Amino acid sequence: QQRTGDRPTTADGSFALDAPSGVPLRVRAVASGLGPEQLEDVHAGDVLEFVLEPAGRIVVQATREGAPCALAVVELAREGVAGAPWRATTDAHGRVEAAGLTRGIYTVQCSPADGTRAFVLDLALAPGGEATAPFEVDPGRELVGVVRAARSGRLLSTRAAGVSVRGSRSGPVSTAP
């Protein structure tokens, strides 16, 4: 993706970016101590308003069979925001922290270093809030099943039909203060 401009705001908080006509743009505003905001599919001539709220953080604690799960790969993606997810690995204590986050619902994925499988949790993060995502990534627990076409009853495969299956915890989304 090509960057079209990068400008500081003026004393009254206003900004102006050069923008090509007829091209959908993604515009992001950031400020120290505040969560960034991003607007998608905006166009030259649009008038934008960003409201930046205090930044929050998500702390992931991964354990395996009761012990810290070091080097687990953690990804965070905010609902409704395009782009690559935030990605990091847990430390020797099975912990990693993502700071400077905007309020919203985040999908947190944690995959042990041995790649056995991913564990997923959705969290709601309030402005300036902190949420803890505990993951117990014990091996040997799994759900099994098949995916069939409704009309024919034919089994569907990823190779033939692009099928994938994703599990998540049922119940309400966890909330943070």
pLDDT per residue as tens, the chain (177 positions):
567 778 888 888 889 888 888 889 889 899 888 888 888 889 989 999 999 999 999 999 999 888 999 999 999 999 888 778 899 999 999 999 999 999 999 999 998 888 776 788 888 999 999 998 888 876 655 556 767 777 777 776 656 556 666 555 455 555 544
Report the amino acid identity of residue 65.
E
pTM for the full predicted model: 0.68
Adjacent-strand bridge partners of 133 = 60
**φ and ψ at residue 161, rounded to 5 degrees:** -125, 0
**Angle formed at CA 155 by CA 150 and CA 158, multiple of 5 degrees:** 110
C-alpha distances out from residue 7 to 4, 43, 103, 104, 176, Å: 10, 17, 24, 26, 33
Place of tokens 């004393």: 11
State the pLDDT at residue 143.
Answer: 57
State the pLDDT at residue 48.
Answer: 92
Q: Tell me the Cα Rg of the chain.
A: 20
The residue length of the chain stands at: 177
Task: Please give the helix or strand (H or E) that residue 160 lies within, else none.
Answer: helix 158-161
